[in-house]
């Protein structure tokens, strides 16, 4: 596997980290809110840096593919973490569309020219 894909996958995971940090910030106050704000800042910085790295180097991932996969990974894990951390509902349609998103992300990786 191309190292750029590894950067992209890890960056997508950090994207879900910054989304979860925002969610947790909404339910806290005081010092705890500042901790979640720091978590958000770290996760968004790492996520963007890893997306940048994935689109460069010797075997860059095309911008459109990189962004779609990065955002998709973030979306998938945000939904999963939302179910676990915020007890969001698990419905047939949520799982169905989450599955189609995962299939699409794998498909983009397969057909990517890198």
Note the pLDDT tens digit of each residue in 37-91.
999 999 999 999 999 999 998 889 999 999 999 999 999 999 999 999 889 999 9
Tens digit of each residue's pLDDT (9 = 90 or more) over 65-74: 999 999 999 9
**Phi, psi for residue 40 in degrees, rounded to 5:** -60, -50
Q: pTM, whole model, 2 decimals?
A: 0.85
- The domain ranges of the chain are 3-111
| Burial track 61-81 (b if 16+ CB lie within 10 A, e otherwise) | beeebbeebbebbbbbbbbeb
pLDDT value at position 109?
80
């Amino acid at each position: 596997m191309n190292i750029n894909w590894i950067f992209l996958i890890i960056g997508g995971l950090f994207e879900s980290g910054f989304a979860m940090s925002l969610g947790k910030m909404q339910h806290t106050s005081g010092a705890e809110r500042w901790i979640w704000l720091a978590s958000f800042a770290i996760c968004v910085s790492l996520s963007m840096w890893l997306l940048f790295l994935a689109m460069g180097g010797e075997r860059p991932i095309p911008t459109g593919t990189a962004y779609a996969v990065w955002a998709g990974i973030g979306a998938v894990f945000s939904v999963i973490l939302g179910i676990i951390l915020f007890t969001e509902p698990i419905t047939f349609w949520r799982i169905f569309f989450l599955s189609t998103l995962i299939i699409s992300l794998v498909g983009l990786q397969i057909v990517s020219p890198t």
